[in-house]
Amino acid sequence: MKIRSSLTAIAVVFSVALFFAPAANAAEQPKSKTDEKPAATAPVKVAVQAGDTLEKIAAAHGTTYVQLYNANPEISNPDLIDVGNEIRIPANEEQLPDRYGEFSAQQAAAAAAAPAAAYVAEYQPVYSQTFTPGSQPVYATDSAGNTYFKGYCTWYAKDRRPDLPNMLGNGGQWVANAAAQGYSTGNAPRVGAIAETSGHVAYVEAVNADGTITISEMNGTAGFGAIGSRNVPAGQYNYIY
């Protein structure tokens, strides 16, 4: 009888040990969520498309062009971005260096140091002429691919921007025709852009802090076939980049 009682007691103790052991192990396994490291958020980047500006990209992503410029040190001029470039979109709370403030100060200093060209408020340019089959174009000595008539504003614009195609039409038609061929266009002035107003095209030499641009042109105020320069309101023009 003593042997059977002893065996029964051992069995009870063994069963109790088996019952409580899994529960104890299970209680040790869960870990606090505070111990887990949050996954790193990948930076948001967008590729520049034809016709994009920093303002347009900023509006589409709920930020400002100033923030985009500050967040992308590879951009030297906020008015100059190239198709295919990647723009990083910063978080709204991100602390960024004031690159735009430095850029604006430099532009203002350069504009103050440069002599101001004469601004002619009342100015109606002569309509430009383009080469048509059967006529005889006058070629530039340094750009034989220029098929616009020498002396008109279109010839000069093509001479300054030989990367643009011929047959963009008369001044006043260039922006629409260039956009239709996939060239980047817009209403924000940039140095090196072609500026277009009704019946006239010119080359942007400088973007000034007072809201004007300095253009050089042929067949403008300097007369037919002559090259001149003047300051004009930037908002009166559209641009080919």
pLDDT, tens digit, for every residue of 28-56? Answer: 555 555 556 555 567 899 998 887 888 88
Residues 63 and 154 in one domain: no
Q: What residue ranges in 60-211 does DSSP mark as E strands?
A: 86-89, 185-186, 194-197, 200-207
Based on the fold, state whether residues 118 and 98 are members of the same structural domain. no
Q: Is residue 198 part of a domain?
A: yes
Tell me: pLDDT of 126 over 60.
no
Task: Identify the bridge partners of residue 47 per DSSP, sorted by sequence position.
Answer: 86
Residue 35 lies in a domain: no
Mean pLDDT of 60-75: 92
Return the SS3 of 204: strand
Same domain, 155 and 214: yes
**For the chain, percent helix, then strand, then coil, each to nearest 5?**
30, 20, 50
The answer as to whether 159 is a domain residue is yes
Choose between 29 and 79: higher pLDDT. Answer: 79
pLDDT value of residue 9: 52
Residues 223, 213, single domain; the answer is yes
Q: Which one is predicted more confidently, 224 or 3?
A: 224
* Residue of 195, 209, 197, 206 lying closest to 239 (CA atoms): 195
Name the nearest CA neighbour of 126 among 19, 231, 221, 1.
Answer: 221
Average pLDDT over residues 141-161: 77
Task: Note whether 104 and 125 are same-domain residues.
Answer: no
Q: What is the pLDDT of residue 116?
A: 42
Same domain, 71 and 163: no
Same domain flag for 223 and 188: yes
**Model confidence at 129, in pLDDT bands (50, 70, 90)?**
very low
Output the pLDDT for position 24: 47
**Alpha carbons 194 and 171: distance in angstroms, whole number:** 11
Quote the Cα angle for 22-27-28, to 5°: 100
Structural domains of the chain, count = 2
Supply the pLDDT for residue 30: 58
Please give the residue range of the domain that contains residue 178. Answer: 114-241
Mean pLDDT of 195-218: 92
Q: Quote the pLDDT of residue 128.
A: 35
Q: How confident is the model at residue 140 (pLDDT cuts 50, 70, 90)?
A: very low
Q: Are residues 80 and 174 in the same domain?
A: no
pLDDT at 117 over 90: no
Q: Which helix (H) or strand (E) holds 218?
A: strand 212-218
My answer on whether 127 and 139 are in the same domain is yes
Last residue of a domain, one of 112, 130, 153: 112
Same domain, yes or no, for 123 and 101?
A: no
**Is the model more confident about 26 or about 56?**
56
Separation of alpha carbons 190 and 192, rounded Å: 6
> In this structure, what CATH number is given to the domain that contains residue 133?
3.90.1720.10
Question: What average pLDDT does range 142-158 have in this prediction?
Answer: 77
pTM above 0.85, yes or no: no
pLDDT band at 187 (very low <50, low <70, confident <90, very high): very high
Among the three residues 86, 112, 138, which one is the final residue of a domain in this structure?
A: 112
Q: Give me the CATH number covering residue 102.
A: 3.10.350.10
Instruction: Answer yes or no: do 141 and 219 share one domain.
Output: yes
Identify whether residues 149 and 239 lie together within a single domain. Answer: yes
Q: Which residue has the tokens 């100060």?
A: 105
Q: Are 78 and 69 in contact (CB under 8 A)?
A: yes
pLDDT mean across residues, the chain: 76
For residue 39, tell me if it sits in a domain.
Answer: no
Residue that finishes a domain, picked among 112, 130, 157:
112
Flag whether pLDDT at 147 surpasses 50.
yes
Residue 237, pLDDT > 80, answer: yes
Quick check: 192 pLDDT over 90? yes
